[in-house]
Amino acid sequence: MNLPPDQPPPAKLKLTPEERRARQADRLTTIRLRMAIGHELNARSITTPAAIGEALGMPAAEATSLLTRRQWREGDVARLKAAAARLGLQVPPMAGVEVHLRPD
């Protein structure tokens, strides 16, 4: 996106410390769920995108994207929890884990 030289770039949205902690906790939960789902799929020898999509109850491209994306997106935790439940996985909560954020 090229802006004219006389216009400053749009301001970056700042998250509150609580929002940052919540997002970091979501990231950690997402990683744990992706790993647990991946291990379960491997244990069941489910490796093709079509089979993964069928096992998770969603289109193959959507399932593959959900399990491999690196960027955090709103709703990923809920979708991963639903996928884990569909596979019969019980991922325990992260009790006693503190999230430490670097000051900006």
Q: What is the pLDDT of residue 97?
A: 54
pLDDT value for 87 = 93
Q: What was the pLDDT predicted at 9?
A: 73
Rounded to 5°, the CA angle 15-66-84 comes to: 100
Query: What's the confidence (pLDDT) of residue 33?
Result: 94
pLDDT less than 70: residues of the chain: 1-4, 92, 94-104
Q: How far is CA 10 from the centre of its chain?
A: 26
The H or E element spanning position 18 is helix 17-43
* 37 part of a folded domain: yes
Give the model's pLDDT for residue 11. Answer: 75
72 neighbors 27 (Cβ within 8 angstroms): yes
Residue 29's domain comprises: 17-86
| Number of domains forming the structure of the chain | 1
Whether 94 is in a domain gets the answer no
Q: Phi/psi at 28 (nearest 5 deg)? A: -65, -40
Local structure of 69: helix, strand or coil: coil
Flag whether 47 is in a domain.
Answer: yes
Q: What pTM was computed for the model?
A: 0.74
